Amino acid sequence: MRVLIVEDQALLRDGLTRMLTAYGMDVATTPADGTGLAERIVAQQPDIAVVDVRLPPTFTDEGLRAAVAARRAVPGLPILVLSQYVERLYARELLADGASAVGYLLKDRVADVRQFIDAVGRVAAGATVMDPDVIARLLHRPDTLATLTTREGDVLRLMAEGHSNAAIAARIAVTEKSVSNLINSLFAKLGLPPSADHHRRVLAVLSYLDHA
């Protein structure tokens, strides 16, 4: 697997490179500058690009904007964004193109090697992977979620993290049929049509929370 790393912090960039290389991945880096970054990502056509949100010259959202632009040029190009903060706008915008193979992780997650490597592999394979802390912050809306049961809230969080019905069933120790019923129920309560499509479910949740 070819991985492109875009990270301006030298220690983190080197650590990511060593970690991914140790797991048999072919790692390349590119100058961590927002200027022309989208074009550089597209030119290299990696199996996945791991991109920091805040890059020079302004350290605001250069990485995110470059990721969005690269996916416009190459729809579905796998992108895993790293951020030091929970930014609901970044999470929503990353998903807004309607394609899968995207991820949003807090940089703290890099310390958990297995979790990070798993996230890289899942995004490269076309999954949507959202950091649990990001999901928790996005779902912290008591006014809109008060109608959900505790179990429905658990299912919504796991669904938003990108888990399949089977994985959710295993996590909360129920049958897949029960998960399907819970999903139908919670979407009905939130006024959202149920969907079997993995990524659209995540996008629907984030879109609802962003505009509610």
H or E stretch including 48?
A: strand 48-52
Question: Which strands form 128-130's sheet, in the order they lie side by side?
Answer: 26-29, 2-6, 48-52, 79-83, 102-106, 128-130
Name the nearest CA neighbour of 128 among 96, 162, 80: 162
Neighbours of 24 (CB within 10 A): 7
User: What would be the CATH architecture of the domain defined by 2-131?
Assistant: 3-Layer(aba) Sandwich (3.40)
CB of 212 closer than 8 Å to CB of 141: yes
User: What would be the CATH architecture of the domain defined by 139-211?
Assistant: Orthogonal Bundle (1.10)
113-161, pLDDT tens digit by residue?
Answer: 998 999 999 999 988 888 877 666 655 555 556 778 889 888 887 877 7
The per-residue pLDDT for 154 is 87
Query: What does the mean pLDDT of the chain come to?
Result: 82
50-107, pLDDT tens digit by residue?
Answer: 999 889 988 888 898 899 899 989 988 999 999 887 666 666 677 766 667 888 898 8
Would you list the domain boundaries of the chain?
Answer: 2-131, 139-211
